[in-house]
Amino acid sequence: MALQGSLADIAFPDVIQLVSVSGKTGVFSISGEGAEGKIYLRDGQITDAYVGNLRGENAVYEMAIWQKGHFIFTPNVESDQVTVTKSNASLMMEAARRLDEWRVLQRRIPSLDLIPYFQPRQSGQDQVTLSPQEWIVVTKIDGQRTIRQLEEATKLSAFEVCKVLFGLISSGLIGLRDANERPAQGAPAGPSATTLLALTENVRKIAEELVGPGGAKSVEKQYRLARTEIEQGKGMAAIQSMVDHLARVISLLKGGEEAGEFLRRVTPLVSG
């Protein structure tokens, strides 16, 4: 008989612990938070997991923080892949830490169906320094995508997206609205020109690091062109054009491998 229950009644890490101790082999099918996933065990040890775009340990952590939904354990079902190598104890310790942090995040982000939008900011107050992961989220915010849709667009977990948003909300850069709520008057649809200019600076630094002093003038030329186009209102298209041109410059000067490394580092920051 399959083991099943509600995540509202018992925390999923506790269920994993129960099955782990018994040394069972099988698969948990879990539905909750608008998604469905699976966690496979062999002799009580988690070996594989997936949900949405996530696979392996990150998928385990994502499902472990769900507080609503249902699970069912079907015995004697195995996965043909091994994407998890950490012990169950290590996984559940990290899951418990994330669950505690998730409860803090929920104080400001109570639902994944809320829509992030850029707060109108006065001149001189829009100077921002963002991490690469923050840039990935910021460049996907358009005032229409929900947090759940941002998760899909960024390929990050809901936990990672909300952790980034929590900081952006705290800094006053981002606000949240309900899907039925009309956007605030004057709220920009995307990053401001000042924010985009800061992003061009990040792209320039990556290019200069890869191309070296010999290509500095070519990088500077594309950087200045992108700044001019941003000031003319071309937005992210100007940065994408800059990236395309710089990739060609790096390929000519340093070869395809370095150009590929450049694109690997900047594409997550600028892709739409």
Q: Has residue 110 been placed in a domain?
A: no
| Residue 185, domain member (yes or no) | no
User: Using CA atoms, how far apart are residues 231 and 192, in angstroms rounded to an integer?
Assistant: 10
Residue 182 in any domain: the answer is no
Helix/strand/coil for 106: coil
70, 5 Cβ separation under 8 angstroms: yes
pLDDT score recorded for residue 77: 92
Distance of CA 132 to the CA centre of its chain: 11
Nearest to 68 by CA among 34, 39, 99, 96: 34
Domain, as residue range, for 163: 115-177
Strands (E), 153-265: 174-177
Given 101, 131, 163, the domain boundary residue is 101
In this prediction, residues 85-92 reach a mean pLDDT of: 91
Residues 75 and 39 in one domain: yes
**Cα(46)–Cα(27) distance, integer angstroms:** 9
78's tokens: 């195995």
pLDDT greater at residue 176 or residue 136: 176
pLDDT digits (tens, 9 = 90+) for 222-265: 888 988 888 888 888 888 888 888 888 888 888 888 888 888 88
- Pair 88, 121 in one domain: no
| Residues 31 and 87 occupy one common structural domain | yes
| pLDDT of amino acid 266 | 84
3-state percent breakdown (helix, strand, coil) of the chain, nearest 5: 50, 15, 35
In this prediction the pTM is: 0.68
Residue 83 lies in a domain: yes
Question: What is the model's pLDDT at position 128?
Answer: 60
Domain boundary among 151, 177, 203: 177
188 occurs within a structural domain: no
Q: Domain total for the chain? A: 3
**Could you tell me if 97 and 119 lie in one domain?**
no
Asked if 128 contacts 195 with a C-beta cutoff of 8 angstroms, the reply is yes
CATH code of 142's domain = 1.10.10
pLDDT at position 56, please?
A: 94
Whether residues 76 and 158 fall in one domain: no
H or E element that contains 118: strand 115-118
Residues constituting the chain: 272
Same domain membership, residue 97 and residue 9: yes
- What pLDDT was estimated at residue 43? 93
pLDDT tens column, 131-167: 778 888 888 888 889 998 998 888 888 899 999 999 8
Do 197 and 264 have their domain in common? yes
Confidence category of residue 186, pLDDT binned at 50, 70, 90: low
Question: 57 with 7, same domain?
Answer: yes
Q: Could you tell me the two tokens for 169?
A: 């909300």
Is 108 part of a structural domain of the chain? no
| 33: amino acid identity, one letter | E
Residue 184: per-residue pLDDT = 61
